[in-house]
Amino acid sequence: MKRIIILGATGSVGRTVLDVIAQHPDKYQVEALVAGRDVNGLVELARRFNPAFVALADTQSGSALREALSGTSIASGAGHDAVMDAAQRACDLVVAGIVGTAGLQPTFAAVRQGRTIALANKECLVSAGAAFMAGVRTYGAQILPLDSEHNALFQILEGHDRSAITQMILTASGGPFRAWSKEHIDQATPEQALAHPNWTMGPKITIDSASLMNKGLELIEAHHLFGVASDKLDVLVHPQSIVHGLVSFHDGALLAGMAAPDMRVPAAHCLSYPQRLDTGIAAPDLARLASLHFETADMERFPCLRLAMEAMRLKGVMPCVLNAANEVAVEAFLAGGYPFAGIARLVASVLEKAAAWSSDTDTIEACLEIDCESRRVARGILDREASFRAH
Ligand X SMILES: NC(=O)c1ccc[n+]([C@@H]2O[C@H](COP(=O)([O-])OP(=O)(O)OC[C@H]3O[C@@H](n4cnc5c(N)ncnc54)[C@H](OP(=O)(O)O)[C@@H]3O)[C@@H](O)[C@H]2O)c1
Q: Which residues bind ligand X (CB under 6 A)?
A: 8-14, 34-38, 41, 57, 83, 97-99, 102, 120-123, 147, 199, 201-202, 204-205, 263
**Vertex 301: Cα angle to 298 and 306 (nearest 5):** 65
Pick between residue 196 and residue 313 the one whose CB is nearest to ligand X.
196
Pick between residue 12 and residue 361 the one whose CB is nearest to ligand X.
12
CB atoms near residue 384 (< 10 Å) = 10
CB of 324 to ligand X, least distance (A): 14
CB of 183 to ligand X, least distance (A): 28
Pick between residue 202 and residue 284 the one whose CB is nearest to ligand X.
202
CB of 177 to ligand X, least distance (A): 18
Q: 3-state DSSP call for residue 235?
A: strand
Amino acid at 159: G
Calculate the CA 255 to chain-centre distance. 24
CB of 281 to ligand X, least distance (A): 15
For 102-157, the DSSP string reads: GGHHHHHHHHHTT-EEEE--HHHHHHHHHHHHHHHHHHT-EEEE-SHHHHHHHHHH
Residue number with the smallest Cβ distance to ligand X: 11
Pick between residue 164 and residue 372 the one whose CB is nearest to ligand X.
372
Helices (H) and strands (E) in the chain, counts: 17, 12
Query: Phi, psi at residue 315, to the nearest 5°?
Result: 55, -145
Handedness of CA 235, 361, 224, 334 (dihedral sign): negative
CB of 98 to ligand X, least distance (A): 4
Pick between residue 186 and residue 369 the one whose CB is nearest to ligand X.
369
